[in-house]
Amino acid sequence: MPFVVLSTVVDNSVDNSADPLYTTRQDSMNLIWTNALKVIEAKMSDQNFDLWIRPLRFIRYSGSDLTLMAPNPYLKEWFEDNYLRSVQVEIFNQTQQEVAIHVLVDEMSPPTSPTSVESTSILGVDPGPGNEPKPQPAATGMIPGQRIAAHQGAAHSFLNDRYRFDNFVVGPSNQFAQAASELVAQMPGTKYNPLFIYGGTGLGKTHLLQAIGHSLLDQHPGWNVTYITAERFMNEFINSLRLGKMEEYRERYRDHCDVLLVDDIQFMAGKDRTQQEFFHTFNALHEKKKQIVITSDKFPNQMPELEERLKSRFTWGLIVDIVVPELETRVAILQNKADMDDIGLPNDVAHFLAARIRSNVRELEGALIRLAAFSSLQGRPITVEFAQQILQNMLSRNSGQVTIERIQREVSAYFNIRPKDLKSSRRPRSISYPRQIAMHLCRKLTPASLAEIGRQFGGKDHTTVLSADKKIKRLVQEDEATGQSVEALERILTG
């Protein structure tokens, strides 16, 4: 499809703001842009998304032209060279319309000097020689609702203003994690240090992590509260080594940090030098009674490539989990999201979506945004029938009986491995353990025979399946982490 890239200033001579149809089109495209960002964010690292995509602002939509605003020319150039086509494709997927994207530069923002270089990648692909990342945009490029949570000498880390305790929906699936997070925010550096929050993707870990940051900054405006992803911590470490700035790097995190919030610690697994640096950073902060909060998609002992000394330190404080929310909580989350975004969501539609989409909160909210966008574009009310039509593909992925293929897919996602790994003959614990859990769930939740399950796992013998089933049954009784993982997966699979 012939996408067009334009970067010139769009004519502003005609003011259409008073036209109700024009306003409706702007609102509709803004929702589509927001929904496209959610899909793109899931394909990128948090660092790259925060650095190159999040600072862009939706300005207007006219005809087939979408205008965005970049905070500086560095970000504009990097976005156009590396991300623009992915954004166009996703918007086309949302609207079935070709859109030309205009990227303007905010002339009101102060000029940015190239102060640091990020070791980054595009949608998980190495940029390659001669295509190195551009300088990091200045903090002036943050979008409304973001908040700097680091001191002047640190890499700027943004807290999303929507992630606060007062809009976190509490239910049985997350109430312990929420209570522990609020207690840490009230008494940092005391009993629960570190606080380790783990659970599957899209269940609210980042929300709680950033809510702690907001609460602490509200109480102590002068504190240096640093929120960072594990991947960014690693990339900054690499750059500091390369540029000979390790002393500055260590001072930033060990001497000038009152609270350290680290998201997705599992990305450090297998990165020995980064783990060593984080180990010493952890010790330095803990000795000074500085609060540390960590999130992960796995229990510490489920990360075989994480150093034992780090696993040990993560258990010094409190470990809490978040599992897939039950139906009532999912309905409440949807209603809360609809209220925040001023979306008219009937109760029957909220219950319909919550009953059909059980995997994670992020997918649930994405469905709501997509539904609202199409409702606005087509001028149709949001009903159950409308939701069935617009979300047909998404709902089909979340419906139906529990099958071996679905179990393999959900277990792979939960343990962050590839489905084909479950069918391979590889035997490292990071693969054999999820494979045994998947076989156990197949025995428990499907009518398939031992032989059929074995065939679906790459031609394994029926005795292998039986042995895996017995082992996981025993571990469920003896090992808390295994019990929690199996329970969470069963809830995902059965709702």
pLDDT tens sequence across 117-160: 333 332 333 333 334 343 333 333 344 445 555 543 333 356 88
Of residues 471 and 98, more confidently modeled: 471
Residue range 286-309, pLDDT digits in tens: 999 999 999 998 888 888 888 999
- The residues, any chain, with a CB within 8 Å of residue 247's CB and separated by 6 or more, are none
Of residues 22 and 492, more confidently modeled: 492
- Tell me the CATH number for domain 146-322: 3.40.50.300
Kindly report which listed range (15-19, 152-156, 329-333, 386-390) carries the lowest average pLDDT score. Answer: 152-156
- Asked if 327-397 and 404-494 have one fold, the answer is no
Task: Give pairs for 374-379: CB < 8 Å, separation 24+.
Answer: 376/24, 376/27, 376/28, 376/31, 377/28, 377/32, 377/95, 379/24
Q: What is the pLDDT of residue 304?
A: 81
Domain coordinates in residue numbering, the chain: 5-111, 146-322, 327-397, 404-494
Q: What is the pLDDT of residue 319?
A: 92
Q: Which pairing describes strands 57-62 and 65-70: parallel, antiparallel, or unpaired?
A: antiparallel
Residue range 235-256, pLDDT digits in tens: 899 989 988 899 999 999 999 8
Residue range 255-288, pLDDT digits in tens: 989 999 999 999 898 899 999 999 999 999 999 9
Amino acid at 197: I
Q: What is the pLDDT of residue 396?
A: 62
Q: Give dist(CA 163, CA 161) in Å, integer.
A: 5
Q: What sections of 226-326 are H helices per DSSP?
A: 230-243, 246-250, 272-287, 308-314
Q: What is the pLDDT of residue 42?
A: 74
Q: What is the mean pLDDT of residues 36-56?
A: 77
pLDDT band at 433 (very low <50, low <70, confident <90, very high): very high
Residue range 66-84, pLDDT digits in tens: 888 888 776 787 788 778 8
Which CATH architecture group holds 327-397? Orthogonal Bundle (1.10)
Q: Give dist(CA 341, CA 307) in Å, integer.
A: 43
Query: Do the Cβ atoms of 411 and 437 come closer than 8 Å?
Result: yes
- Assign a CATH topology to domain 404-494: Chromosomal Replication Initiator Protein Dnaa; Chain: A; (1.10.1750)
Instruction: Name 66's bridge partners.
Output: 61, 101
Q: What is the pLDDT of residue 147?
A: 57
Buried b (16+ CB within 10 A) or exposed e, 236-245: bbebbeeeee
Q: What is the mean pLDDT of residues 310-328?
A: 88
- Tell me the CATH number for domain 5-111: 3.30.300.180
